[in-house]
Amino acid sequence: MDSNNDWRQRLYVMIFQTDTVAGRRFDRLLLLIILASLVIVILDSIDEVHQNYAKVLAYIEWGFTLIFAIEYGLRLYCSPKPLRYAFSFYGLVDLLAIVPGILALYYSDAQYLLIIRIIRMLRIFRVLKLSPYLKQANYLMSALRGSKQKIVVFLVSVCTLVTVFGTLMYVIEGPEHGFTSIPKGIYWAIVTLTTVGFGDIVPKTPLGQVISSLVMITGYSIIAVPTGIFTAELANAMRGDQLQHDCPVCKKSSHEPNAAFCSRCGNGLYSKVE
Amino acid sequence: MDSNNDWRQRLYVMIFQTDTVAGRRFDRLLLLIILASLVIVILDSIDEVHQNYAKVLAYIEWGFTLIFAIEYGLRLYCSPKPLRYAFSFYGLVDLLAIVPGILALYYSDAQYLLIIRIIRMLRIFRVLKLSPYLKQANYLMSALRGSKQKIVVFLVSVCTLVTVFGTLMYVIEGPEHGFTSIPKGIYWAIVTLTTVGFGDIVPKTPLGQVISSLVMITGYSIIAVPTGIFTAELANAMRGDQLQHDCPVCKKSSHEPNAAFCSRCGNGLYSKVE
Amino acid sequence: MDSNNDWRQRLYVMIFQTDTVAGRRFDRLLLLIILASLVIVILDSIDEVHQNYAKVLAYIEWGFTLIFAIEYGLRLYCSPKPLRYAFSFYGLVDLLAIVPGILALYYSDAQYLLIIRIIRMLRIFRVLKLSPYLKQANYLMSALRGSKQKIVVFLVSVCTLVTVFGTLMYVIEGPEHGFTSIPKGIYWAIVTLTTVGFGDIVPKTPLGQVISSLVMITGYSIIAVPTGIFTAELANAMRGDQLQHDCPVCKKSSHEPNAAFCSRCGNGLYSKVE
Amino acid sequence: MDSNNDWRQRLYVMIFQTDTVAGRRFDRLLLLIILASLVIVILDSIDEVHQNYAKVLAYIEWGFTLIFAIEYGLRLYCSPKPLRYAFSFYGLVDLLAIVPGILALYYSDAQYLLIIRIIRMLRIFRVLKLSPYLKQANYLMSALRGSKQKIVVFLVSVCTLVTVFGTLMYVIEGPEHGFTSIPKGIYWAIVTLTTVGFGDIVPKTPLGQVISSLVMITGYSIIAVPTGIFTAELANAMRGDQLQHDCPVCKKSSHEPNAAFCSRCGNGLYSKVE
């Protein structure tokens, strides 16, 4: 057996899998490094910190970029199918975690792209006890998927409402009250409909305040729509653990996961071949 | 066969229906033109754009109005029952999409009425794969219809609350803190109850702040009401309600979803195969 | 038969009941008068209106007070049990609708108490087709009653959270950033937790902003609690049209409203006396 | 029997239990004292009150601290297992209610730690009719426990969103519009996503307002997620889940709520009376 190949194999297990102690330890260490590199980027954006420690932080950032580059190299090296990894979702994210660090040498603003490393944090679900979380995320996902069309209908309605109300307010309030253009009016309508209410632009005319009241009550009420959609779908998805099989006699379509007989008519769900 | 009539027939299929390739292409083109005309109206409202391109944009707007006018003419021409089309919902909307463009020649503010063209965007659901979206919209609609009365009760309660709280705040805070009249107080109460919170009018006196806290907690809690109503109704609409199966003895045709026996005559709905 | 008594009887039917044409007409007229009197109070609070029409409005208000006084007198006169009416809920509200109008002759601020007349608007549900709305209101009420204890638990938790966070912010931010006392801090915590966010008091220190973020995310998440409670209870209340009767054999406790046999075990719900 | 021991026993019953009249009276008195001590702390933080009554309030606070110290001593004295009480949750809270009062003699700011006494208010559920409230709290708790993993997934997603959007806004808007650092951007993103919207920092550039609109609509929509999760779980917890009834043939003990036949062996769960 080729000892080099053997070493590569062991590296692969450690880096790509989480079943072994070494694998889990590696993943945990990696998460800590990612987190640390994010903290550095965030700290560097604070003015007082930047003025005093700009150089130190830059060195540390380069250090992290180096570490991630080495890690990326190792992943390419030990992966049995390097190209497949390189073009997988995780492979691209791993690459994206390095590039801005190199770009930052030339364009200082590029460093903020480093925040993209946050996507790597998705691996956190691999370190936590994996499966139950992913199963729950699956529930949420399948609920979202099931409600996709309803949500499109909802979002199209919201966009229409917001455009109409934004234009109305632009015509009624006019530039002298901060509604300087229709896009500004639409921005205000979004701020108001979503009940955020910054207060940077507010209606001043009585008619404008009446329309605003309408927008607010609309926004306050229709939040029920996405909530209702999602709740109904989630309840569906959670009930979906059931056995989906039409009873041959009474057509009852969902049963207990390990049912042998229909609980409504008592007939066998699967007739034995006799 | 009259070739003129035949051409009219083909035009009708293309303009009014979406089953043919030409029909779908026509609808998609129309949507793009509507969207473009909306974008022009919105752009024209931005001051910098208006000052530099007012004339160009005006020409483009007239062009769109011309296109819509021609389209409207064609629809009237090729429709088998022109009057019925003219007074249908879509016919009126199509007319409304032209009128403001002509009015804008005389009153410059009329151009904002063009935003009414957004209603034409409803055709978008015809271009997207029609039926599943409409079915979902139907679910939403039937949920809304089922909860109409509950929502009236809710809105009447909200209006009452808002009037009472608005008057209270006007009496407590008074004009010197921005509550210059009862309508202003009601406007503030709506802003607060819906949790928008612009912050243009805020309570200053301790008693006013206590009442505000009450309004806010009320608003925060009763948002549960429309949400609960809509969710319960939507879950109802989505559940394939009752079991549709004729009882073999008494012919009762709808039963509880999991019924094994008829609740009127007590006979088994499904005889066991023995 | 005493003609005076007969007339009193007919007056009673007209004023207190809604089954006859005259009764419905009377109720509708009364609603309009109440609404008009509310509008007068609201209009009178607007400064420009008050300065120009103070006298006219005062006369109109006295007129309305007179009308309501006469109506109250008639109700007392024609009611078979005047005292019982006088101390019923509606009787007290009817009295309260008159008193502030008389007080307003001496104390000008008392006129705002007139807004109490809004409670009389509750009669609106008698004018609209009564029963379906009241049934829906009953659903909402029974959902609220069913969730009362859960809501007390929720409100106690919210009060505790708000007190703790308000004190924390007072200690952290201090008077120089607007948190001048613990009650002010609690007011701010309520404004923030309910996601209203006026912006009249905002955290300035980094630590204060971290705590604020915590309060906001808490408020954003726990809104799920009253919503969930109410939705679950409402779904229960809507299902509650069912027959509540334990099946003597299988103990299934709720059945179709007119079930004679249990749909689970097929046994009669009520054994015949033989 | 030792009369001293007997007295201790009676003290124990009165202080620690709520079954006797004396016990309930003691708990009610204690709650009032705790509430009064909280009110004193809160009042003392108001500037006008502090300037005029600082000394009186300080004396009262010492009095309350003394009372709580005596109560703590009595609890230790009469408890059969003093150490176990001292290190129980309630024991530690009772101790924490005294310490800040003593610290306040040396550090004046320590007095605000007194607010920790609010935790003692948890005893309120013992004074109110205990069990139904706790049962309801249990429903809420079990719903929260059931949705824990889903909520972790949700919170991780929210944190990621907020970090990405905060960084984006920092890069786009920059320090000149109030986004002075990435943490500030994240704070703004939380304020906006949770629909609080203080308005202390608002986007000024068109691109910033577009991103803001995205954040707001996201925040407005994903509030559906915790609500849906909690509602679905609560409905689950409240439904008397499965049918508990031993199958007469195979002894399977829990079935679908409406099962008429056992899903494992197909035999009727309830034999018909014939």
Which chain B residues have a beta carbon less than 8 Å from that of A146?
Answer: none
- Chain A residue numbers with beta carbons less than 8 Å from the beta carbon of B157 are none
Say whether C199 and A195 touch across the interface (CB within 8 A): no
- Cβ–Cβ pairs < 8 A, chains A and C: 9
CB contact under 8 A, D197 and C199: yes
The mean pLDDT value for D206-214 works out to 93
Shortest alpha-carbon distance between residue B198 and chain D (Å): 8
CA dist., res. B138 & res. B118, Å (int) = 21
DSSP B177: G
Measured between beta carbons, which residues in chain B are less than 8 angstroms from residue D261?
A: 260
Which of chain A's residues have a Cβ under 8 Å away from the Cβ of D167? 41, 45, 112, 115
Nearest C-alpha neighbor of B93 from the set B56, B120, B73, B60: B120
Contact by Cβ (8 Å): A232, A245: no
Residue A195 to residue B191, Cβ atoms within 8 A: no
- Residue A1: strand, helix, or coil: coil
Nearest to B260 among D195, D198, D261 (CB): D261
Model confidence at D247, pLDDT cuts 50, 70, 90, reads confident
Residue range A134-162: mean pLDDT, rounded: 78
Neighbouring C-alpha atoms within 13 Å toward the C-beta of A248: 10
* Residue C216: pLDDT band with limits 50, 70, 90: very high
Mean pLDDT along residues A236-241 = 64
Question: Looking at CA atoms only, how far is residue D22 from chain C in angstroms?
Answer: 25
| Strand ranges in B62-147 using DSSP code E only, listed in sequence order | none
Residue whose tokens read 């199209």: A156
Confidence of residue C271 (pLDDT cuts 50, 70, 90): low
**First vs last Cα of chain A: how many Å apart?**
53
pLDDT beyond 80 at D37: yes
pLDDT of residue D273: 41
B100 three-class SS: helix
Amino acid identity for residue D104 in this structure: A
CA B109 to chain centroid, in Å, comes to: 25
Please say whether the beta carbons of D260 and D269 come within 8 A: yes
Name the nearest CA neighbour of B142 among B13, B46, B230: B230
Q: Which of A37, A31, A48 is nearest to A112 (CA)?
A: A37
pLDDT at D192: 94
Torsion of CA C130, C131, C135, C140, to 10 degrees: 0
Say how far residue D187 (Cα) sits from the centre of its chain. 24
If residue C254 lies in a helix (H) or strand (E), which one and from where to where?
strand C254-255
Contact state of B259 with D256 under an 8 Å Cβ cutoff = no
Which of D150, D225, D261 lies at the smallest CB-CB distance from A263?
D261
Q: How many Å lie between the alpha carbon of D131 and the closest alpha carbon of chain A? A: 29
Chains contacting chain D through 3 or more C-beta pairs under 8 A: A, B, C
CB pair distance less than 8 Å for C266 and D272: yes
User: Considering only alpha carbons, which residue of chain C is nearest residue A206?
Assistant: C46
Residue B241 in contact with residue B217, Cβ under 8 Å?
no
List, for residues B66-123, the tens digit of each pLDDT value.
898 898 888 888 888 888 888 887 788 888 878 877 777 777 666 666 677 777 766 6
Instruction: Show residues of chain A in contact with C198, CB under 8 Å.
Output: 199
Among the listed residues C113, C135, C124, C139, the one whose alpha carbon sits nearest the alpha carbon of residue C235: C139
Chain D residues within 8 A of B260 when measuring between CB atoms? 260-261
Per-position DSSP letters for B57-85, written without gaps between them: HHHHHHHHHHHHHHHHHHHHHH-SSHHHH
Chain B residues whose beta carbon lies within 8 Å of the beta carbon of residue A266: 260, 272
Which ipTM was obtained for this model?
0.79
Dist. CA B80–CA B125, nearest whole Å: 24
**Residue whose C-alpha is closest to residue B237's, from B151, B149, B144, B148:** B144
The residue of chain A with its CA nearest to that of C224 is A227
Q: What pLDDT is recorded for position C222? A: 84
Report percent pLDDT > 70 for chain A: 78
pLDDT of residue B189: 95
User: According to the model, what pLDDT value does residue B274 have?
Assistant: 38
Question: pLDDT (tens digit, 0 to 9) for every residue of chain B, 274 residues total?
Answer: 466 778 888 888 887 777 788 887 888 888 888 888 888 888 888 888 888 888 888 888 888 888 988 988 888 888 888 888 888 877 888 888 788 777 777 776 666 666 777 777 666 665 655 556 666 667 777 777 777 777 877 888 888 889 889 988 988 888 889 899 889 999 999 999 999 989 889 999 999 999 999 999 999 888 888 888 888 877 777 665 455 667 777 777 666 666 777 776 777 776 544 3
User: What is the per-residue pLDDT across A203-224, written as a single tens digit (0 to 9) for each?
Assistant: 999 999 999 999 999 998 888 8
Cβ of D260 and A259 within 8 Å?
no
- The answer to whether the CB atoms of D260 and B257 lie below 8 A apart is no
Taking only the tens place, the pLDDT of each residue in C12-29 is: 887 777 777 888 788 888
Taking residue C87's Cβ as centre, other Cβ atoms within 10 Å add up to 10
Q: What is the pLDDT of residue B242?
A: 53
Interface size between C and D, measured as CB pairs under 8 A: 147
- Residue type (1 letter), B2: D
Instruction: Kindly list the residues from chain C whose CB atom is less than 8 angstroms away from the CB atom of residue B267.
Output: 266
Is residue C264 within 8 Å of D259, Cβ to Cβ? yes
User: How many whole angstroms separate alpha carbon A113 and alpha carbon A104?
Assistant: 9
Nearest to D117 by CA among C162, C164, C169: C164
Q: Which residues pair with C268 in a beta bridge?
A: C261
Show Cβ contacts of residue D211 under 8 Å, excluding neighbours closer than 6 positions. D165, D168, D169, D172, D203
Distance (Å, whole) CA B89 – CA D264: 58
Q: Around Cβ C218, how many Cβ atoms within 10 Å? A: 16
**Chain C residues with CB-CB distance to D161 below 8 A:** none
CB contact under 8 A, D257 and B258: yes
Q: Which of D30, D20, D125 is nearest to D70 (CA)?
A: D30
In angstroms, the Cα distances linking C72 to C65, C82, D149 are 10, 11, 61
- Rg, C-alpha atoms of chain A: 28
* H helix runs in C147-241, sequence order: 148-173, 182-193, 206-222, 224-239
Which residue in chain A is spatially nearest to D265 when comparing CA positions?
A261
How is residue D123 written in tokens? 């005893």
C-beta separation of C149 from D133 below 8 A: yes
Which residue among D155, D158, D195 places its CB closest to the CB of C195?
A: D195
Chain A interface disruption, residue of C231, C252, C265, most A CBs within 10 A: C231
Q: Which amino acid is at C180?
A: T
Examine the pLDDT at A77 and tell me if it is beyond 80. Answer: yes
Which subunits have 3 or more CB–CB pairs within 8 Å of chain A? B, C, D
Residues of A with Cβ-Cβ distance to C196 under 8 angstroms = 197
Q: Residue B199 and residue D198: Cβ atoms within 8 Å? A: yes
- Both structure tokens of C206: 């980094």
Contact A156 B268 (CB under 8 A): no
CB D207 within 8 A of CB A201: no
pLDDT, chain A, mean: 79
pLDDT band at residue A271, thresholds of 50, 70 and 90? low
Shortest CA distance to B68 belongs to which of B119, B24, B109, B6?
Answer: B119
Q: Kindly list the residues of chain A whose beta carbon comes within 8 Å of any beta carbon in chain C.
A: 195-199, 227, 231
Instruction: Measure in Å the smallest separation between the Cα of B270 and chain C Cα atoms.
Output: 12
A219/B118 Cβ within 8 A = no
Alpha-carbon span A44 to D182, nearest angstrom: 9
Q: What is the pLDDT of residue B110?
A: 64
Question: What does the alpha-carbon distance between residue D121 and residue C164 come to, in Å, rounded to a whole number?
Answer: 12
Burial of B30-46, coded b for 16+ CB within 10 Å and e otherwise, reads bbebbeebbebbbbbbb
Q: What single letter denotes the amino acid at residue B37? A: S
Residue scoring higher pLDDT (C262 or C196): C196
Name the residue facing B260 among D198, D231, D260 (closest C-beta).
D260
Flag if B199 and D195 touch (Cβ within 8 Å). no
Q: With beta carbons under 8 A apart, name residues in chain D contacting B197.
A: 196-197
Chain C CB contacts of A198 below 8 Å? 199
- Rg value, chain D, Cα: 28
From chain B, pick out residues whose CB is under 8 angstroms from the CB of A211: none
CB contact under 8 A, D136 and C156: no
Q: What is the mean pLDDT of residues C158-165?
A: 89
What the block records as the tokens of B88 is: 């249908």
Label residues B58-82 b or e (16+ Cβ within 10 Å = b): bebbeebbebbbebbeebeebbeee
Q: How many B×C Cβ pairs under 8 Å?
A: 166
Spatial separation of the C-alpha atoms in residues B261 and C8, rounded to whole Å: 58
According to the model, what pLDDT value does residue B273 have?
41
Q: Would you give the DSSP letter of residue A105? A: T
Q: What's residue B248's pLDDT?
A: 74
Contact (CB, 8 A) for D94 and D15: no
Collapse the DSSP code of D268 into the 3-class scheme (helix H, G, I; strand E, B; otherwise coil) and give the result.
strand
CA distance readout (Å), D254 to C24, D239, D249, D250, D272: 57, 14, 13, 11, 20
State yes or no: pLDDT of D103 exceeds 70. yes
Q: Which two tokens stand for residue D260?
A: 């008429």
Select the more confidently predicted residue: A153 or A115.
A153
Give residue C136's pLDDT. Answer: 67
CB contact under 8 A, C195 and A198: no
Interchain CB contacts (distance < 8 Å): A and B? 146
Q: Which among A177, A184, A167, A168 is positioned nearest to A205, based on CA atoms?
A: A177
Q: What are the helix (H) ranges across chain D? A: 3-16, 21-44, 47-78, 82-86, 89-96, 99-103, 124-127, 130-146, 148-173, 182-193, 206-222, 224-238
Residue C131: burial class (beta carbons within 10 Å; 0-12, 13-18, 19+): exposed
The closest alpha carbon to D236, from D142, D121, D125, D99, belongs to: D142
A234 φ/ψ angles, rounded to the nearest 5 degrees: -65, -45
Average pLDDT, chain C: 79
As a whole number, mean pLDDT of residues D168-179 equals 88
pLDDT given at position A273: 42
Q: List pLDDT tens digits, range D130-152.
A: 556 666 667 777 777 777 777 87
Closest chain A residue to D219, measured at CA:
A194
